[in-house]
Amino acid sequence: MSAEPPAPSPRPLQGAAGPGSAHALARSRAVWALALGQTLGYACMFYIFAGLVLFWTRDLGWAKSTLAAGPMLAILLAAGLAPVMGRLVDRGRGPEAMAGGAVLGALALAGMAMVETPGQWLAVWALNGVAQAACLYEVCFAFLIRRLGAAARVAIIRVTLVAGFASTLAFPAFAAVAGAFGWRAAVWGAAVVMLGAVGPLHLWGGLALRRQGVQPTARAAPPDAPPVWRLPAFWLLALVFALVSMNHWMVMSFLVPIFVAQGQSEGLAVFAAACIGPAQVAGRLLLMRWEARVGNSRATLFTLGALVLAAALLAASGAGAAVVLAYVAVQGAAMGVTTILRPVLIADAMGPDNYGAVAGAIQMPALVAGAVAPMLGALLLEGPGLWALMVASGVFTLAAVAAMQALRAR
């Protein structure tokens, strides 16, 4: 029996074509509310570390490794909880999970604003990881897949299009508030945003979509269905996403020093790194333009091909500013599109049964890869050197293409 409350007299959202019109709902105000909630949630909980790390380093006086252990712990916890949160969505509790995650995020940030010891630092980041698992992209995407079915890609494009500006919002906001009032005031401000804006936006948007009477596309798996981990598609998808995540975050964590080591000026390197976010938005705009003409599987293969090209451009980035900017454009656009295609490709390959839990399990290796990728990048740079990191980037992207081709062959 579903735990989801019934909707005996569904009412269409303003601007929707009526109850049951999934494509109209995918363009409704409720989706834009979720998009704004995701933008603010990522700015407050995910980008807060990069936005305030210099202030923490100066004020707290801790080693960079101690500070970095916080977000790494959060990501690893989010990875472990991904299937649990997915099951909540499968049971019809997506809006409650997202709103509850925002409340937990506010509590984590409130604790972070008062932190004095490394132990407290790790504790508040652990709570932050639980909050991220409950209310950021993966839960939101699973909810949209459940409520909108084939129209979910339209909604996911809109969510990620807006949320792509989270870093653009976070960095100057944190720098301005922390510079004027101190980093603790900046963290308190983020806590207020989570509680006063992110939670209500997620709750209203989720409940509004749930009230429309669109039958959920996710259901319990048949009793005789084989466990998903026995299916080759499960492991191929997990491998594709883990390889892509490993490659991206291994490079992104050291993008500025990589460009400088290639002979580029520090000013150009910083400018290029700042363009990654806008490049992701540009890629999503392109997908929005052609969303009805390109299938998910083919679009994913094209995107992985773009990442292979980006790896080659990275290796040639010492040739000049044009190559550096070309790398940023291709890598950023490809990763922006990947964010959209990931949930819908899982739905295509694995079907709607228990989508939330299945998607969460598939995402676990990718989240873990993203957490350990900076350490791998550091080891490669400190050991064999820059050439080893570039070779690894090419190998990871080519392996992802091979895994995707094997999936398409099935």
The pLDDT tens digits of the residues spanning 362-409 come to 888 998 898 888 878 888 887 888 889 999 999 999 999 999 989 888
Residue type, 294: V
* Per-residue pLDDT at 213: 53
Burial code (b: 16+ CB inside 10 Å, e: under 16) for 311-338 equals bbbbbebeeeeebbbbbbbbbbbbbbbb
* Per-residue pLDDT at 103: 97
Whether pLDDT at 6 is above 50: no
- Reading the block at residue 197, the tokens are 């804006």
Domain 22-210: which CATH number of 3.40.50.620, 1.10.10.10, 2.60.120.560, 1.20.1250.20? 1.20.1250.20
What is the distance between the alpha carbons of residues 202 and 85, in angstroms, rounded to a whole number?
15
Decide: residue 231, CB within 10 A, 0-12 exposed, 13-18 middle, 19+ buried. Answer: middle
Whether pLDDT at 281 is above 80: yes
Is the CB of residue 401 less than 8 Å from the CB of residue 301?
Answer: yes
Instruction: Answer yes or no: pTM beyond 0.85.
Output: no
Q: Apex CA 71: angle with CA 68 and CA 75, to 5°?
A: 135
Closest CA to 188 of 259, 108, 251: 108
Residue 58 or residue 253, greater confidence: 58
CATH topology assigned to domain 228-409: Growth Hormone; Chain: A; (1.20.1250)
What is the distance between the alpha carbons of residues 95 and 109, in angstroms, rounded to a whole number?
21
Is the CB of residue 141 less than 8 Å from the CB of residue 13?
Answer: no
* Per-residue pLDDT at 2: 38
* Per-residue pLDDT at 12: 40
Whether pLDDT at 1 is above 50: no
* Per-residue pLDDT at 227: 66
Q: Hey, where are the domains in the chain?
A: 22-210, 228-409
* Per-residue pLDDT at 351: 77
